[in-house]
């Protein structure tokens, strides 16, 4: 109910009588109920009651409007508070002084500096052009030239020249230069990118149709003679399997992953686990070695290998392990990265697909993610990777028997590795390298969409950014190195075309090129050069359709379709930069940064593993921590003796911020020419770049 003084004020204003008014505060619509006095229509009492009622209605409407204004003011205050919070976070980022220009020791910054310099120059020019256009708009000059059959734009120029003053003449000259020299090449570049965009959209549509066909027809790899009696006959019927686990400073996840691998349901005499440690931290290496020794005492055949000199990164680590003398006793090798946790039946579901198929060199399993709902960044990554595994890998595996090896959760026939030349250290995508070389040798690949292996997604923007740089620079390195080998290979003509035009050019080069050029360069430029047009269907409708198709494999992510579209365009700057560095063999193309893991699922996975395999007592031996005891010990320590947590930080990403200012400036310019859909796209995309540039997405990193 409303406070009592409201009713008193209403009674005093009416002399103590009249119609009582009740304002229901509980109703968000501020509804009013009025009890009218009975009066005979046309009588003096009825006329008086009508006049009083009209007066009361006016006062009621006034109160309602005031209450709604108060409510709107509250909402505006909340929005202002949120904006101030974002501004405060941005101020803290700036005050911290950490930017992506703070390179690590030995890291090349030449390309980064040149690229950022070009963007900075572009931003300055756009702001100058915006100032010119605003001045022209205030003077009433034409912001766009009308199309004329004989001389397009001449009428607007004549109108400007008729105005006295040097400024009008200068603006007319700028319009002439813009029309004759800038608009034609910009329009040509625009049309070229639109064509590439349409080709890539058709490719994505074909992939989606292929996935739909697979679903309708129930197409999937079926093992030959996968009879349960044959599989469980005896240890001699299980092939010898070598399990490799390369890692480097993986302190957060090593324990759960080693435990999951050692729990694989396979005869212990028929598989050997190699823990390949490249850690340069002595404490981490000691913990990993202690964990291996613990499982050795449990009877698991597991060995620990540590390289002092980390040559060749992961490829060098795997190559060194394959040179061991005992490898000749094994027929297959399984690779799991440090954060992967295979199910116990992984080998029993994957290995039968090799039986009776001597031309199959690789069986790849699908990834699933333990932290896909952790934050907005992991949700958007999940959309991308679900499409990759559900559509790209499945369609290529079903119709082409070829796809890019994902580097982990896959089983290789050792003969196929040796026939393809083994692991090479020439690129940062050793998995794609060995897959291409094996394909050129005629080996077939199988993809198992129903066999999943859990892993972890990067939760910070910095870690994800570095991962994407490596994933997009490496393929361009590889394309330079293997182009001649593809041409000279003995595979069929259409397989060569698939490798060159689809696998490399369209999906690894053209996609990041047009995504960055079209939406981050051409679109804002067309706002300042309106003679070059970018149709609305290119800006809105086709990207929205492509986003819907990309999100179909993960239907629960449909509420994030707009953030996903903006996120993909925002990441195009990182992917384009990586693509250029890999294509031209620049210094940053050879950078390898291990993706930071959080190990959020470590405790839960260990508990599940303990319950399943009944090794509670053994889990307290060796390096496995007594979680309850450690927690009690930490709580008993004085505050001054308690271990201090590592401070986390965020970085400012200058390229993203520069593009944010560019897009927001172009959005302001689009308001002058009343280009609605372009304005909204530029505005939201500029805000997206601003959020990424200030590192306001994902978790902080240590």
CB 574 within 8 A of CB 468: yes
Measured distance CA(322)–CA(13) in Å, rounded: 95
Q: How many CB atoms lie within 10 A of CB 439?
A: 27
Closest CA to 126 of 596, 680, 670: 670
Q: How many CB atoms lie within 10 A of CB 188?
A: 11
DSSP per residue, 421-486 = T----SSS-HHHHHHHHHHHTT-EEEEEEEEEEEE----BHHHHHHHHHHHHHHHHHHHHHHHHHH
Measured distance CA(240)–CA(327) in Å, rounded: 10
The residues, ordered by sequence, that sit 6+ positions from 438 with a Cβ below 8 Å of its Cβ are: 361, 362, 416, 417, 419, 420, 445
How far is C-alpha 616 from the chain's CA centre? Answer: 39
| Both tokens assigned to 328 | 């000749």
| Tokens of residue 162, six digits | 């008729």
Question: Is 641 one of the annotated active-site residues of the chain?
Answer: no
> How far is residue 62's CA from residue 55's CA, in Å, rounded to a whole number?
11
Q: How far apart are CA 526 and CA 523, in angstroms?
A: 5
CA dist 620 and 634 (Å) reads: 18
Handedness of CA 559, 562, 565, 568 (dihedral sign): negative
| Tokens 């990441």, located at residue | 571
Query: At what angle are helices 461-488 and 376-387 packed, to 10 degrees?
Result: 20
Task: Return d(Cα 527, Cα 248) in angstroms, integer.
Answer: 48
- Would you call 242 helix, strand, or coil by DSSP? strand
Q: Phi, psi at residue 277, to the nearest 5°?
A: -100, 120
CA separation for the pair 199, 205 (Å, rounded): 10
Rounded CA separation 614/617 (Å): 8
Give, in order, the Cα–Cα distances in Å from 7 to each of 29, 52, 170, 368: 19, 16, 67, 62
Per the residue annotation, which of 277, 337, 339, 431 is the catalytic one? 431
Q: In what order do the strands lie in the sheet with 444-455?
A: 302-306, 271-277, 241-247, 332-335, 410-413, 360-369, 444-455, 341-342
Q: DSSP per residue over 26-47, as a string?
A: TSTT--EEE-PPP--TTSHHHH
SS3 at position 152 = coil
Catalytic, 278? Answer yes
Maximum pairwise Cα distance, the chain? 115
Q: How many CB atoms lie within 10 A of CB 290?
A: 13
109 secondary structure, DSSP code: -
Would you mind telling me the total number of residues written for the chain in this entry? 702
Nearest CA-CA partner of 365 in 330, 408, 417, 414: 408
Is the sign of the CA dihedral 517, 520, 521, 525 positive or negative? positive
Complete DSSP assignment for 565-617: HHHHHHHHHHHHHHHHHHHTT-GGGG---PPP---TTHHHHHHHHHHHHT-HH
Cross-strand pairs, 334: 243, 411
What are the catalytic residues? 278, 431
């Amino acid at each position: 109910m409303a406070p009592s003084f409201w009713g008193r004020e209403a009674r005093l204003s009416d002399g103590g009588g009249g119609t009582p008014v009740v304002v229901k505060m509980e109703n968000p619509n501020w509804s009013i109920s009025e009890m009218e006095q009975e009066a005979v229509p046309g009588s003096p009492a009825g006329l008086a009651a009508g006049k009083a009622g009209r007066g009361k209605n006016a006062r009621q409407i006034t109160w309602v409007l005031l209450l709604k204004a108060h409510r709107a003011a509250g909402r505006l205050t909340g929005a202002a508070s949120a904006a101030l919070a974002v501004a405060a976070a941005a101020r803290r980022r700036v005050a911290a002084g950490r930017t992506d220009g703070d390179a690590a020791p030995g890291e090349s910054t030449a390309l980064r500096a040149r690229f950022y310099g070009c963007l900075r120059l572009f931003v300055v020019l756009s702001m100058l052009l915006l100032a010119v256009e605003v001045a022209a708009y205030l003077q009433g000059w034409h912001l766009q030239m009308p199309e004329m059959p004989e001389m397009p734009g001449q009428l607007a120029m004549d109108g400007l020249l008729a105005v006295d003053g040097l400024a009008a003449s200068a603006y007319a000259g700028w319009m002439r230069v813009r029309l004759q020299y800038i608009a034609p090449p910009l329009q040509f570049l625009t049309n070229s990118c639109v064509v590439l965009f349409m080709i890539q959209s058709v490719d994505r549509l074909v992939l989606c149709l292929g996935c739909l066909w697979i679903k309708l027809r129930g197409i999937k790899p079926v093992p030959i003679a996968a009879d349960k009696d044959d599989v469980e006959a005896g240890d001699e019927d299980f092939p010898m399997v070598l399990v490799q686990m390369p890692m480097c400073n993986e302190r957060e996840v090593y324990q759960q992953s080693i435990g999951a691998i050692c729990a694989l349901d396979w005869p212990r005499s028929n598989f050997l686990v190699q823990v390949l440690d490249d850690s340069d931290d002595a404490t981490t290496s000691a913990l990993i070695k202690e964990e291996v020794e613990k499982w050795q005492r449990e009877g698991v055949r597991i060995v620990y290998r540590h390289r002092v000199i980390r040559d060749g990164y992961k490829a060098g680590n795997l190559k060194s392990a394959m040179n061991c003398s005992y490898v000749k006793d094994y027929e297959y090798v399984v690779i799991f990265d440090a954060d992967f946790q295979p199910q116990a039946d992984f080998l029993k579901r994957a290995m039968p697909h090799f039986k009776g198929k001597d031309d199959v060199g690789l069986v790849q399993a699908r990834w699933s993610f333990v932290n896909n709902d952790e934050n907005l960044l992991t949700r958007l990554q999940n959309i991308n990777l679900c499409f990759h595994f559900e559509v790209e890998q499945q369609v290529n595996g079903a119709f082409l028997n070829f796809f890019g090896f994902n580097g982990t959760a896959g089983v290789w026939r050792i003969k196929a590795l040796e026939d393809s030349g083994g692991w090479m250290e020439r690129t940062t995508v050793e998995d794609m390298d060995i897959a291409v070389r094996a394909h050129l040798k005629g080996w077939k690949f199988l993809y198992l969409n129903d066999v999943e292996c859990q892993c972890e997604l990067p939760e910070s923007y910095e870690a994800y950014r570095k991962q994407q740089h490596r994933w997009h620079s490496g393929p361009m390195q590889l394309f330079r190195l293997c182009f001649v080998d593809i041409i000279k290979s003995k595979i069929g003509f259409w397989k060569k075309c698939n490798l060159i035009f689809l696998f490399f050019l369209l999906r690894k080069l053209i996609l990041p090129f047009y995504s960055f050029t079209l939406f981050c360069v051409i679109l804002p430029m067309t706002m300042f050069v309106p003679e070059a047009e970018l149709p609305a269907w290119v800006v809105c409708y086709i990207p929205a359709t492509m986003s819907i198709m990309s999100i179909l494999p993960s239907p629960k992510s449909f509420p994030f379709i707009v953030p996903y579209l903006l996120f993909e365009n925002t990441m195009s700057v990182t992917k384009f930069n990586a693509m250029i560095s890999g294509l031209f063999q620049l210094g940053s193309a050879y950078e390898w940064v291990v993706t930071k893991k959080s190990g959020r699922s470590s405790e839960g996975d260990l508990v599940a593993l303990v319950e399943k395999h009944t090794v509670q007592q053994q889990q307290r031996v060796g390096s496995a921590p007594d979680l309850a005891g450690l927690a009690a010990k930490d709580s008993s320590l004085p505050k001054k003796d308690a271990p201090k947590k590592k401070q986390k930080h965020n970085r400012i990403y200058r390229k993203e911020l520069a593009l944010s200012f560019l897009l927001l400036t172009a959005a302001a310019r689009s308001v002058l020419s009343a280009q609605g859909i372009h304005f909204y796209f530029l505005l939201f995309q500029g805000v997206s770049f601003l959020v990424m540039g200030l590192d306001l997405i994902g978790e902080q990193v240590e």
